[in-house]
Amino acid sequence: MCGIAGWIDWTKDLSEENRMLKQMTDAIRHRGPDAEGFWLDGHAALGHRRLIVIDPDGGKQPMLYKDSENDVVLTYNGEIYNYRELKEELTSLGHQFDTESDTEVLLHAYLQWQEQCVDHLNGIFAFAIWDKNKERLMLGRDHLGVKPLFYCKRGDQVIFGSEIKALFAHPDVKPELDEEGLSEVFGLGPMRTPGKAIFKDIEEVRAGHYMIFSKEDQQTKQYWKLESKEHTDDVDKTVETIQSLLEDTVSRQLISDKPLVSMLSGGLDSSGLTAMAGKEYKENGKTLSTYSIDFVNNDADFKEDFLRRDLDEPWVKKVSEYVGTDHTSVVFPAEKLVNNLLIPMKARDLPGVGEIETSLYLLFKEMKKNATVALSGESADEVFSGYPWFHQEKFLDADVFPWLLNIGGIGKVLKKEIREKLDIPAYQKKKYQDALEELPVLEGEDETEAKQRRMSYMFITRFLPFMLDRKDRASMMTGFEVRVPFCDYRLVEYLWNIPSSMKNIDDIEKGILRRAFADYLPEDVRYRRKSAYPSTKDDAYLKGVTEWMRRILDDPEAPIQSLIDAEVVRYIADGKSDMPDTSVRGLFDYLIQVNGWLEEYGIKVHI
């Protein structure tokens, strides 16, 4: 895993712009603490920060290839999980390799197939390729958008980077926010519109897309999308296919020249992956290490809520003992979560979801002490339709994104004149309708299945990108790589067309996945009900963020004061509203981050 940055200027010679390029890569040093690399020539400047995972000696970047017909340079972030098969295929086509790295395989894939190289890749990736002879730049991103890639067009320039902060290190990119950006921040929150980076004039290469830039033209191509068709496999064949795909995916994603561990919550998803990985480790005479997260006083403070049914730790212990892992439970006090609240915002360059993001960052920081790579169960609920939202009519029938019915009150604290100008409810509905227009419908599908397909599309294309953002930035902030086997595009394609009645077989969410893990987990673990990523219930957390919010309200220079109705927020902080504590915590988490974000980045707001 790594960080990439650079820019193209078709009217200037960039060969002496080393200082500027280094500023951009230094801004994302955390993504690649092990090495740096630069390539500047003519109209192109490409930089790289490296986190060494595969082929320490051979994977140095930017990587060049030059012969009588080609002059190409690549800077790349990610892992190509089928690189060994691709290398064999490319060798048979006459290509020669000097390293054992997947980077060189990607470079030669471009030489062989040009922009169609993405059709041959299975992995998580974001890359930039400068083809000097054609004077064109290619930016490519993986199928589900696991790895980030942002860009900004400025006249004859294209400026790009793994994170927005890399773009801000270039003098021609400024942190500005317009009405659309404000609508995203206060209307959609962290679940932003695909391709939108919130900041004015900054975009993100969308998942499953690549872009081609030349001096005269800019093209965007979608190389992968979900396609709706009838699912013809019976239950047994479906279970067998899911199990086979997961076994293959996990095996591929265990490849690493650095220590690898697994995240383990005791839930179905992480437990099943841990069991698969643990079996392969045991067959090779090794013991898999696992990690979980817990909070001080959680036994006494825990309260069941919409997303969390019971405590994780008893289940974590059971699975660890069953699989035979070397387990570490990392425990955090509420005060530490409060004190580190703004770090994930700085990692994402955008406000996020607060303490569940903070705790994830702190967990990765601990894991980094003993490893460089981890497996995660992220995205299983999106692709297997596991969330509670999928199983209640009020969410299935909503005319906005279903999660907004739980968290959608942020815009109500804006000043009246701003609220009226933005019209947040209309913006939310418009973005939902835009998503509906993309939906690949299946003709003849009954109403219940059509609703489930619609819900599934929203979660895969709108909610999952936020979850992947959260995991990527929180992990890479500590120089740590997290892999997500449930995001293998082959699995996602297959699951997309399985009817919800089959996905939820045995009258339980993700029933088909529970069957697929029958050879790996005991029955009580397989049929444990869904419980989301844990959250501290300690009252000290609410007290901490409420006091912080009051300090912001008491500071006339706080940048968020120009946007929010301070009286409304103070009314909530004084405990006079009827908002439940969990909602108050979420609101204050977010407003504190928005204030810190405006201040940290010196954002100029245009409204």
- pLDDT tens figures, 366-396: 999 999 999 999 999 999 999 989 989 999 9
How distant, in Å, are the alpha carbons of 359, 476, 483 from that of 273? 22, 21, 11
How many C-beta atoms lie closer than 10 Å to residue 53's C-beta? 22
In the chain, % of residues over pLDDT 70: 99
Cα–Cα distance between 173 and 522 in angstroms, integer? 54
Hey, what are 12's tokens?
Answer: 């200037």
Annotated binding site for ATP: 293, 376-377
Mean pLDDT of the chain: 95
Mean pLDDT of 416-433: 96
How confident is residue 530, by pLDDT bands cut at 50, 70 and 90? confident
Hey, what are 340's tokens?
Answer: 């580190």
Q: State which amino acid sits at residue 463.
A: F
Mean pLDDT of 528-543: 87
How confident is residue 575, by pLDDT bands cut at 50, 70 and 90? very high
Q: What is the structure's pLDDT at 54?
A: 80
Question: What are residue 139's DSSP bridge partners?
Answer: 128, 211
Q: Render pLDDT for 307-364 as a digit per residue (tens, 0 to 9).
A: 667 788 999 999 999 999 999 999 999 999 999 999 999 999 999 999 999 999 999 9
The helix (run of H) or strand (run of E) holding residue 100 is: none
Checking 173-181 for CB contacts under 8 A at 24+ apart, the result is 173/201, 173/202, 174/604, 175/199, 175/601, 175/602, 175/603, 175/604, 176/200, 176/201, 176/603, 176/604, 176/605, 176/606, 177/603, 177/604, 177/605, 177/606, 178/606, 178/607, 179/421, 179/422, 179/606, 179/607
Hey, what are 254's tokens?
Answer: 């265990």
Q: What is the structure's pLDDT at 510?
A: 97
Q: What is the structure's pLDDT at 534?
A: 82
Annotated binding site: 102, 293, 376-377
How confident is residue 212, by pLDDT bands cut at 50, 70 and 90? very high
| Residue 3 pLDDT exceeds 80 | yes
Annotated binding site for L-glutamine: 102
Q: What is the structure's pLDDT at 531?
A: 78
Cα–Cα distance between 54 and 67 in angstroms, integer? 26
Domains contained in the chain, CATH given: 2-222 (3.60.20.10), 235-526 (3.40.50.620), 539-605 (no CATH)
Cα–Cα distance between 25 and 129 in angstroms, integer? 17
Q: Render pLDDT for 59-76 as a digit per residue (tens, 0 to 9).
A: 889 999 999 899 999 999
Contact 511, 504 (CB under 8 A): yes
Q: Residue 218: which of 270, 161, 154, 279 has the closest Cα?
A: 154
Per residue in 244-278, is it b (16+ CB within 10 Å) or e — as a string? ebbbbbbebbbbeeeebbbbbbbbbbbbbbbbbbb
Query: Is 152 labeled as catalytic in the residue annotation?
Result: no
Hey, what are 249's tokens?
Answer: 């995916």
Q: What is the structure's pLDDT at 408?
A: 60
Q: What is the structure's pLDDT at 58?
A: 79
| Residue 306 pLDDT exceeds 70 | no
Q: What is the structure's pLDDT at 311?
A: 85
Q: What is the structure's pLDDT at 245?
A: 98
Contact 542, 355 (CB under 8 A): no
Q: What is the structure's pLDDT at 23?
A: 98
Q: What is the structure's pLDDT at 59?
A: 80
Q: What is the structure's pLDDT at 537?
A: 86
Radius of gyration of the chain (CA): 24
Strands of 81-149, DSSP E: 123-131, 136-141
Mean pLDDT of 239-251: 98
How confident is residue 297, by pLDDT bands cut at 50, 70 and 90? confident
Cα–Cα distance between 313 and 315 in angstroms, integer? 5
Strands of 155-196, DSSP E: 157-161, 176-177
Q: Render pLDDT for 177-189 as a digit per residue (tens, 0 to 9).
A: 999 999 999 999 9
Please give the DSSP secondary-structure letter assigned to residue 173.
-
Q: What is the structure's pLDDT at 535?
A: 85
Please give the DSSP secondary-structure letter assigned to residue 183.
H
| Residue 459 pLDDT exceeds 70 | yes
Cα–Cα distance between 25 and 46 in angstroms, integer? 9
Q: Render pLDDT for 483-508 as a digit per residue (tens, 0 to 9).
A: 999 999 999 999 999 999 999 999 99
**DSSP letters of 202-252?**
EEEPPTTEEEEE-SS-EEEEE------------HHHHHHHHHHHHHHHHHH
Hey, what are 303's tokens?
Answer: 């309260």
Cα–Cα distance between 475 and 376 in angstroms, integer? 11
Contact 570, 550 (CB under 8 A): yes
Q: What is the structure's pLDDT at 409?
A: 73
Which listed residue (2, 117, 152, 487) is catalytic? 2
Contact 246, 166 (CB under 8 A): no
